[in-house]
Copies of this chain bind each other. A is one copy, B any other.
Amino acid sequence: MPNTRNIALIGLTGLAGEALLNLLDEHEFDFEQIHLVDTEEQAGGRHMVKGHSQRVEVLERFDFSQVAVVLFADAWLASDWADRVVAAGCVVVDACGAFRHRRDVPLVVAEVNPQALADMGSRRIVSCPDAQVVQTLIALQPLVAEAGLQSLTIATYQSMSTLGNDEVEALALQTGRLLNGQPAEKGAFDKQAAFNLIPRVGELDEAGNSQLEQHLAEDVRRILGMPQLPVSVTCVLVPTFFGTAQVMQCRTDQPLAKARALTLLRRAPGIKLLDKPAAGGYPTPVSDATGSDHVWVGRVRQDDLDPAGIGMWVVSDNLRKGVALNGLAVAQLLIKDYL
């Protein structure tokens, strides 16, 4: 039986891995030992964990009997290794979505549906939804619990980091070239991204939805347990490096006064409410969300002609809050209550 308070974190080289390492350096987590693990070619480096420098161990030679939970911050590695890890007696936390849409794998946002961890059954894999879904549900849940939900419309404002490091670098390069009067090179994009808006994040299906748009709708329905909920989503890439934002417009079952909505949001776990917009009190990716462990909510408004219409502006650090922290929080919940 593996030690039930030890964890291994696998796949540290991407943006999600970097966000994980930052969190481990800055916060205490409820783990006894934390093993950093990566493939042979990436292993060997050192990172600070709980104030101590720690070596990255080699995945191919790692002894999984040392740990109870294995968190993957890389979807390819999760696909390749999850079955072996489960066979070794561990539970897998798939933070990057390799198992996101398997019906026998619970999809968990720590603040929203921790009880779904009880459904992991013998598969012993749990998955985390996309950062967009995490932010949507954390902001939405307190309102839905009080007033129900009839429909949801989301428009996203996503940074390059929601795609990956290549896109982050391509934005910097394009921007610099344009400011210097040179033509933008398209690089990772099919159209200029700098000083522009790209209303397509990923490939589109025949109905014209991107995979992310489809997943946002499906995962919100699944996690809220509302399979018939109308959800309209448009995902747009904006020329920012980090963070993600959404305009969310909900129609609740019961009218929900703005003052009550503010109270519910203020009390909710995982949320920082910043809603004094006349005095500059509204969250932005750069000033508030980036590097933060919270989903920031502001500009809460009740529709003037529809007392069940509530709008919000929601911002978070997609990598830190949406991926890394949710993954670690799910792992902590597993260790505390489900192993």
Complex CA distance for A33 and B249, rounded to whole angstroms: 49
Asked if A151 and B197 make an inter-chain contact with CB atoms under 8 angstroms apart, the answer reads no
Closest approach, in angstroms, between the C-beta of A206 and any C-beta of chain B?
8
- Taking CB as reference atom, which chain B residue is nearest A244? B197
- Taking CB as reference atom, which chain B residue is nearest A280? B190
Known: A195-B241, A197-B240. A230 touches B305 (CB 8 A): yes
Report A230-265 residues with CB < 8 Å from chain B CB: 230-232, 234, 236, 238-241, 245, 247, 249, 258
Q: Please, which residues of chain B bring their CB within 8 A of the CB of A305?
A: 228-231
Q: Please, which residues of chain B bring their CB within 8 A of the CB of A241?
A: 195
Complex CA distance for A198 and B229, rounded to whole angstroms: 30
Q: Please, which residues of chain B bring their CB within 8 A of the CB of A277?
A: 200, 204, 208
Q: Please, which residues of chain B bring their CB within 8 A of the CB of A176?
A: 179
Asked if A278 and B203 make an inter-chain contact with CB atoms under 8 angstroms apart, the answer reads yes
Count of A residues near B, CB < 8 Å?
Answer: 61
Known: A157-B157, A284-B191, A299-B200. A234 touches B208 (CB 8 A): no
| A300 in the interface (beta carbon within 8 A) | yes
Most chain B beta carbons < 10 A, residue from A157, A239, A286 = A286
Q: Please, which residues of chain B bring their CB within 8 A of the CB of A101?
A: none
| A129 in the interface (beta carbon within 8 A) | no
Known: A208-B277, A282-B199, A313-B199. A287 touches B175 (CB 8 A): no
* 27 A-B residue pairs with CB within 8 Å: A153-B153, A153-B249, A157-B236, A190-B280, A192-B286, A195-B240, A196-B284, A196-B287, A199-B245, A199-B282, A199-B283, A199-B284, A199-B299, A199-B313, A200-B299, A207-B301, A208-B275, A209-B301, A217-B304, A228-B305, A229-B305, A230-B303, A232-B249, A232-B309, A234-B313, A236-B313, A249-B249
Residues on A facing B (Cβ under 8 Å): 151, 153, 155, 157, 172, 175-176, 179, 190-192, 195-200, 203-204, 207-209, 217, 228-232, 234, 236, 238-241, 245, 247, 249, 258, 275, 277-278, 280, 282-287, 298-306, 309, 311, 313, 315
